[in-house]
Amino acid sequence: MSSVKVEAYARALFEIAQAEGTLDRVEDELFRVARAFESNEQLRATLTDNTIPTERRQLVAEQLLGGKASDTTTQLVSLVVNSGQVRELPAIIDSLVKRASSEKKQEVAEIRSAVALSADQETRLAAALAKVTGKPVNLKVVVDPSVLGGLVAVVGDEVIDDTVRTRLDQLKTRI
Amino acid sequence: MIQYVNALLASEDPTITHHWLLPETAEIVYGGLASVIVVGALIKFAGPAIKKSFNARTEKIQKELDDAAAAKVNADSDAKNIRAALGDIAGERARMLAEADTQAAAVLTEGRTRIVAEVAELEAKAETDLSAARGRSSDELRAEISMLAALATPVVVEATLTDQTKNDLIEAFITSVGAAR
């Protein structure tokens, strides 16, 4: 799928969420959906399997998100599944998040952590990253047990990695 | 004389002999004269040839005797040489035996030296191989330990990462990022 098409879908989703007045929440939920889609092979295989009827795949997405995400988020994901562009879901959502951050004059900061961050920690981390980048950041936290401990922050092209996983990898290489 | 002979002959009957055994006198006379003439002729004409023949035979025999003497001398000389050669052979045999003994002793000494050197070389090589094997074993052991350590470390770290530790790590991250600029 071309980047133009991705941008078009992202803009459409963005405008719907904005019109609904739930942009912040939807953007956050979609971001988590995108990361889950990337990391869960079974989910990815199911939603991209063309042998399964589209309606059924939509139903799967709706059942997975039902009760856990807002209606708008669920409907937007269902919309992408229905359009047959589900393979591009992460790219569309990332573009949407970037657009939303840009709208708020913020830089997207993707954080990976082994455990969820408290609200206080998110606030202080956002402030610290804003201090580093010189721009306010739109924090997107992904709980990823594979990092074991610590955090890795990706802000634009900059990567700040202080995870236990990375340290272990470095230690393994040294050994 | 001739007349006497002729008269005598004329008076004799040639068909009758005077004695049953002896010849007639005239025959004796004639025979005697003829014999004298033949013997004289033999002495005169054949004597030198016979004498020459005898002399040649004598010379030939003398030559053969001289040759035999010379051959004897040569044989004596050869016998002497052979006897000397026999003596030389015994000496040569003794010399060769002595030389063989010397060479054998030299070969033995050289062989012993070589074997000692080879043993020393083998010992040195064995020592080197042993050291290398020890080094290899040590390296393999180190690699094994490293591999086990690499496998064990994440397990140990994961087991010791409590929620509090994870929270502390997050706090440390925020602090370090905040202090960066």
**Radius of gyration (C-alpha) of chain B in whole angstroms:** 69
Judgement on whether residues A122 and A83 belong to the same structural domain of the protein: no
Judgement on whether residues A91 and A118 belong to the same structural domain of the protein: no
* Domain-ending residue, one of A100, A118, A136: A100
Q: Are A108 and A101 in contact (CB under 8 A)?
A: yes
CB contact under 8 Å between A171 and B153, yes or no, is yes
User: Tell me, what DSSP letter sits at residue A72?
Assistant: H
> Which of B157, B163, B170 lies closest to A117 in CB terms?
B170
> Which of B149, B153, B165 lies closest to A149 in CB terms?
B165
Chain B residues touching residue A132 (CB < 8 angstroms): 177, 180-181
CB contact under 8 Å between A124 and B174, yes or no, is yes
Residue B64 CA to residue B74 CA, distance in Å, equals 15
Judgement on whether residues A120 and A87 belong to the same structural domain of the protein: no
Classify A150 as helix, strand or coil.
strand
**CATH code of residue A67:** 1.10.520.20
ipTM exceeds 0.90, yes or no: no
Q: Is the whole-model pTM more than 0.80? A: no
Phi, psi of A111 (to 5 degrees): -115, 135
Residue A80's H or E segment, with its range, is: helix A71-82
* Portion 94-133 of A in contact with B at CB < 8 A: 113-115, 117, 121, 124-125, 127-129, 131-132
Q: Does B155 touch chain A (CB under 8 A)?
A: no
Chain B residues touching residue A148 (CB < 8 angstroms): 154, 157-158, 161
- Residue-range domain boundaries for chain B: 23-162
Judgement on whether residues A15 and A95 belong to the same structural domain of the protein: yes
Residue B37 CA to residue B45 CA, distance in Å, equals 12
Judgement on whether residues A29 and A83 belong to the same structural domain of the protein: yes
Query: Which pLDDT does position A1 carry in this prediction?
Result: 55
Query: Which pLDDT does position B157 carry in this prediction?
Result: 82
Judgement on whether residues A145 and A170 belong to the same structural domain of the protein: yes
* Domain-ending residue, one of A60, A78, A100: A100
The answer to whether residue B8 scores a pLDDT higher than 70 is: no
Mean predicted confidence (pLDDT) in B46-66: 93
The answer to whether residue B176 scores a pLDDT higher than 70 is: yes
Average pLDDT, chain A: 88
* Domain-ending residue, one of A57, A80, A100: A100
Q: How confident is the model at residue B14 (pLDDT cuts 50, 70, 90)?
A: low
Nearest-CA residue of chain A relative to B143? A175
Residue A144 CA to residue A163 CA, distance in Å, equals 11
Q: What is the pLDDT of residues A70-101, one digit of tens each?
A: 888 898 888 888 888 888 889 999 898 888 88
Judgement on whether residues A12 and A80 belong to the same structural domain of the protein: yes
Question: How many separate domains does chain A show?
Answer: 2
Chain B residues touching residue A128 (CB < 8 angstroms): 174-175, 177-178, 180
Mean predicted confidence (pLDDT) in B139-148: 85
Query: Which pLDDT does position B12 carry in this prediction?
Result: 64
Please enumerate in sequence order all residues whose Cβ is within 8 A of that of B171, keeping only pairs 6 or more positions apart, or say none. A121
Q: What is the domain range of residue A60?
A: 3-100
Judgement on whether residues A58 and A73 belong to the same structural domain of the protein: yes
Judgement on whether residues A59 and A79 belong to the same structural domain of the protein: yes
Distance of CA B1 to CAs A144, B7, B12, B24, Å?
Answer: 193, 10, 17, 18
* Portion 58-117 of B in contact with A at CB < 8 A: none
